[in-house]
Amino acid sequence: MNNETLLHRQIHPSWVQNDSISSQAFLNEQVIASLSFTPSAKDDNKLSVYNGEKYTAEESYIHFTESFESAGVLSVSCEEITSVEDLVAYEDNDPFDGHSVIDYSSVESSTQVKKKAKKIKNLAVARGWTHKK
């Protein structure tokens, strides 16, 4: 993977909420929860993504939704990941070829994990949906 490689993250429907308070509601836009870019404890501080060199956003969506739910795909580049201190991304091909991770292992506290997840989410949201259900 190189700096321009996009990493595709599946966004669970529960992480998408209509923003009924701000003017965005009138634009029919959606708010994405930072939780969508926060690894859970069971994931050993590694967030699952698809390697964009092996899957398009649409292909990743199709593959993922064979077993799980997804509202769509948001993507970030490897360069964007490494621009956030202590984060790295790499392909591990486990449990399938093209599986990659955004690794939060070097982040010292859960508060910092949440802050970094919010930065990554904001970068992905700025790009916009790369595939939508």
What would the pLDDT profile of 1-53 be if each residue is shown by its tens digit?
999 999 999 998 887 865 322 222 223 345 677 778 888 778 888 999 999 99
Averaged pLDDT for residues 102-127: 90
The pTM of the full predicted model, rounded to 2 decimals, is 0.88
pLDDT of residue 24: 29
pLDDT tens column, 40-95: 778 888 999 999 999 999 999 999 999 999 989 999 999 999 999 999 999 999 99
Torsion angle defined by CA atoms of residues 105, 42, 117 and 81, in that order, rounded to the nearest 10 degrees:
50
- Nearest one of 41, 31, 25 to 11, comparing CA atoms: 31
| Rounded Cα–Cα distance for residues 78 and 17 (Å) | 27
- Determine the 3-state secondary structure of 63 from DSSP: helix
What pLDDT shows up at residue 23? 24
Q: What is the pLDDT of residue 8?
A: 98
- Does 96 have pLDDT greater than 60? yes
